[in-house]
Amino acid sequence: MLTVLNALKLATEYFEKKEIPSARINAELLLSHLLKCKRLDLYLRFEQPLSENEVDEFRSMIARRGKYEPVQYIIGNTDFYGLNFLVNPSVLIPRPETEILVETIINNHKFDGPIKILDIGSGSGNIAVSLAKNLSDGDLLSIDISEEALKTAESNAGRLNVNNVKFIKADILSNGFAADSHFDLIVSNPPYISDSEYGSLQKEIILYEPKNALSDNMDGLNFYRRISSFADEKLNPGGYLYFEIGLGQSDSVKSILENNGFGEIKIIQDYQRIDRVIYGVKK
């Protein structure tokens, strides 16, 4: 009979042969999800035998991961900024780097009082919901072009008891989208992978995550141009525009912000000392 320990060993060996990074952690995440326990609790249950149904289900999960499907899609959720979000192939998997964007906004504006925020690119709702949860006086509007993504974001807002954010379908690249009010803050983690770089991404990303949430099919700067122009028109005087940026993009995005009338521009690095967040103030 297969025990927890043997199941972990077999899964880890299989993932290593497939050259899947963090093979042991992947195996633990899948098995702890299956057994409805915390990862660390597995170490107290090494000798526990798996039932026949559990073995079959674990094999199915291993097979999916062996085809490079991300763990987060297999188990259906992931943690972001201390909250648990539902995820599926219609939304980008929230990254730890994006927590820096959220944290920067919260630290800069937690004492501002009532603040009207626009989030461009809802995805799973991780940015909008995290901000709404931590800025209780925030009034948030979040837009996305994908109806399926918006359904996921609304589900996350509901299960996390957030009621100060509204999600609507809109395309920021279309001239047909015009917000009917002005904002104090606009934030976006836009598609910033260039078309030429997209093919070099990990298999997990190319095979499973939505391309339109990752790449602009151009030079990686198209959304920064459009959103900066839009923000110049729709931000209140003294309003803030925040972006997450990709490797090597800080100088280009800074120039785009300056060309659209933004000053007091600041750049925040991630834990690997890569420029990751940029923001400016409307003059």
How much is the pLDDT for 174? 84
Residue 176: pLDDT over 70? no
The fold for domain 78-282 equals Rossmann fold (3.40.50)
pLDDT tens figures, 116-144 = 999 999 999 999 999 999 999 999 999 99
How much is the pLDDT for 175? 66
- Rounded alpha-carbon distances, angstroms, from residue 8 to 48, 78, 123, 282: 12, 21, 32, 53
How much is the pLDDT for 146? 97
Domain ranges of the chain: 4-67, 78-282
pLDDT tens figures, 21-41 = 999 999 999 999 999 999 999
Give the number of C-alpha atoms closer than 13 A to the C-alpha of residue 232, restricted to the C-beta side: 13
How much is the pLDDT for 1? 86
How much is the pLDDT for 132? 97
186 in Cβ contact with 244 (< 8 Å): no
pLDDT tens figures, 61-108 = 999 999 999 999 999 999 999 999 999 999 999 999 999 999 999 999
How much is the pLDDT for 239? 97
Determine which of 114-118, 152-156, 172-176, 266-270 has the lowest per-residue pLDDT on average.
Answer: 172-176
Q: Which amino acid is at 238?
A: G
By DSSP bridging, strand 183-188 and strand 138-144 are unpaired
